[in-house]
A and B are shown apart, each in its own frame.
Chain A
């Protein structure tokens, strides 16, 4: 599903922040991406959700070499990836329902085909009574759950989450982790970037550890 071969990344003329990364992410797999601050986790996630191009090496996503794809083809590929941003990135002028429905709306799906599904998902993540609320009045945990709902509404094949439990209490963190595990069971590959060792210890999964720009994989 994801294949990195000797991938390197540098910003401008600076030193490489990611060095010679070679790894694979298989379909239906679950892994944590971890490492100390500044190790390059966010840069690696940016490469994975196609917001950044590598300085060298090959990245293959869903069997396509991303270097050879057009802008439209990359957009189509992004639709198969769900992203949970660390800072949520909900659109302030849209309600919770509208934010979650956005990935389906931008691909031109008729609203009638997904209205019930969006509401059902919002209920499932515990936001059934916040459907018409704007992000400004949501708590951090509610925003986090709305961001997760938006990431999974289009049933992505790959889910990337950047510190998804960073802003919530331990109980909610547990619930969110269970949500990711459920998604993984239904066929989605999951990569969770986190510092939270306690969280990782709760679930026996593959760990991709970044240290000084290099990756060590613990199966």
Chain B
């Protein structure tokens, strides 16, 4: 290395050192830790939490309603009435055989006399001599998953071969249940819609409040020659991050709560667990629920960003 090279390098190093001691633009263009900014994050977090809970609840109701319907629809019952001139055991065996021969049937299980008595215990009490009563016997027919057997044909065959038997496909019960779960789902979606509107409004107003404190910044940037797109971009980026932060806190808390509830539902054994399972299924909001919550988080962040951009444009217009 020549002497002149070494001198030049030393000069550059000195220059670097001097530059290192100089101040830097550490502050962002848009003030970061303001009270209104923190309030906005809190509002976004709370509203996203509530909206996510509502979304999750609607998903649970939807999944539970589907489970109830498919559970009931996968089963039909054959009732065999006792008749004076007929052997009821033979009729039951015949009805079971007819059901087994039908296509799309997964399992046929005739209930014994004792099992039938146990079904009646909640209404008639124990120890009643059921032999003296004309109590019908039942045969439970489980439909294979995905199959749609010809129930009309099965009903007709039963009528021809076992006159004392009748087929109950639970149609009216399923229809009532469908109406009830449909009403619940519609109610849930209405509540979700209202919560989403409230979320959008409160996030918009909180963003406006946070932007009001930034008016002097916008004016100064504008008057020193910053282009409108530059100013809008700075604020949009800042408020997008605030919205995402609040949304992830709120949405994340709601998802953690659902995950915890799903976990906790497994801890309840016995009757309580069965009851919970009957009401809420697996207590899981499913992939669709998680996706819906994440979409909400993104939507709310988008609203904060676009609201801030709109207010920047309005503020700049007001400067003129």
Contacts and interface: CB of A to CB of B under 8 A. Distances in A.
16 contacts: A49-B223, A72-B227, A75-B225, A76-B225, A78-B222, A79-B224, A81-B225, A89-B223, A98-B23, A98-B25, A98-B26, A98-B27, A107-B225, A111-B24, A112-B19, A115-B22
Interface string A50-93: 01110000000000000000011001101101010000010111
A94 B27 contact: yes
B319 interface: yes
A101 to B, nearest CB: 6
A75 B228 contact: yes
Nearest to A52: B320
A93 B27 contact: yes
A78 B25 contact: no
Contacts of B25: 97-98, 101, 105, 111
A140 interface: no
A106 B226 contact: yes
Given A51-B319, A51-B320, A89-B220, A97 B23 contact: yes
Contacts of B220: 89, 91, 102
Contact of B223 (A78, A97, A132): A78
B54 to A, nearest CB: 37
Interface in B25-46: 25-27, 29, 31-32
A106 B221 contact: yes
Interface of A: 49, 51-53, 71-72, 75-76, 78-79, 81, 83, 89, 91-95, 97-98, 101-103, 105-107, 111-112, 115-116, 119, 131-132, 150, 154
A106 B22 contact: no
Nearest to A81: B225
A91 B223 contact: no
B198 interface: no
A116 B19 contact: yes
B22 A119 contact: yes
A53 B26 CA distance: 35
B219 interface: yes
B27 A103 contact: no
A154 B224 CA distance: 10
A94 B32 CA distance: 11
A95 B27 contact: yes
A93 B32 CA distance: 9
Nearest to A106: B226
Contacts of A102: 220-221, 224
Given A78-B225, A79-B225, A106-B225, A89 B23 contact: no
Given A53-B320, A75-B225, A89-B219, 11 more contacts: A52-B320, A72-B227, A72-B229, A78-B224, A83-B223, A92-B31, A94-B27, A105-B25, A105-B29, A107-B226, A115-B19
